[in-house]
Amino acid sequence: MIKVSGLVKSFTQGKNITEVLKDVNLEIEEGEFVAIMGPSGSGKSTLLQLLGGLDSPTNGKIEVGGKAISEMSENQRTIFRRKNIGIIFQNYQLLNNLTVEENIAFPLYADGTLDKEKMKEVKELIQAVGLNELNKKQANLLSGGQQQRVAIARSLVNQPNVLLADEPTGNLDRSKAEEILLLLTQFHKKNNQTIIMVTHDIFAAGFADKIILFKDGTIEQIISREDENYAQYLANFMA
């Protein structure tokens, strides 16, 4: 379970303090696929970064699987993230000079846990994301959709319980986006991973079980398919 309480994040620039997240409270059950939607600058990506331990909150508490990551040092957070959280970015963030296989295996290499057995798992992941024939190709020579497949495989290589995706289809056309979302859904169903995906695209959010509507640094509403008026809430939010 992911539990967020009283979360505040402010950024200071000179004398100006900007509060990007304002008292965010949230619970996400294990195995849920949640989409976070909201306008640009509403703080949704900042929330994802805090959930992934990439940054620390100004105030409030974040627990992932019972561990309070908001109280960890940067070093502790990094170790925790490597073991428990996979992250996918809109711009893929691959190491351009490395091959597909090297990129996917990189987190294991960085952890010093890459061995023969793990390499077998890397190969299985490459197969699962449909990049078998491209595994020796350099990352910067791949298309956007292919690069995002590599990023997904890389995010899964440590078998994390939680997968965070920040606009994973933002740079892709509809049909490539569909392939990526199906891939995420298949992994989600197979491994029962918790997925939290930030998106501005309702067609991507449709893959999720629950949608968090985010505005001005806080949660405006959490809607699930069981809510009778969820489509009306969405329409109002998107107006």
CB of 37 to another protein, least distance (A): 12
> What are the residues whose beta carbons fall under 8 Å from the beta carbon of 236, sequence distance 6 or more?
none
CB of 17 to another protein, least distance (A): 33
Site of interaction with another protein (CB under 8 A): 174, 178, 182, 185-186, 189, 202-203, 206-207, 225, 230-232, 234-236, 238-239
Q: Which two tokens stand for residue 174?
A: 């509809």
CB of 231 to another protein, least distance (A): 4
CB of 185 to another protein, least distance (A): 5
With respect to another protein, which residue has the nearer C-beta, 21 or 183? 183
Q: Which two tokens stand for residue 75?
A: 């070093």
With respect to another protein, which residue has the nearer C-beta, 110 or 235? 235
With respect to another protein, which residue has the nearer C-beta, 111 or 178? 178
CA distance 52 to 197: 12
With respect to another protein, which residue has the nearer C-beta, 13 or 40? 40
Residue owning tokens 């989409």: 35
Q: Note whether 49 and 196 are within 8 A (CB).
A: no
With respect to another protein, which residue has the nearer C-beta, 89 or 207? 207
CA distance 170 to 173: 8
CB of 217 to another protein, least distance (A): 24
> What are the residues whose beta carbons fall under 8 Å from the beta carbon of 107, sequence distance 6 or more?
82, 154, 157, 158
DSSP one-letter string for 172-239:
S-HHHHHHHHHHHHHHHHHH--EEEEE-S-HHHHTTSSEEEEEETTEEEEEEETTSTTHHHHHHHHH-
Q: Which two tokens stand for residue 225?
A: 């398919």
CB of 205 to another protein, least distance (A): 8
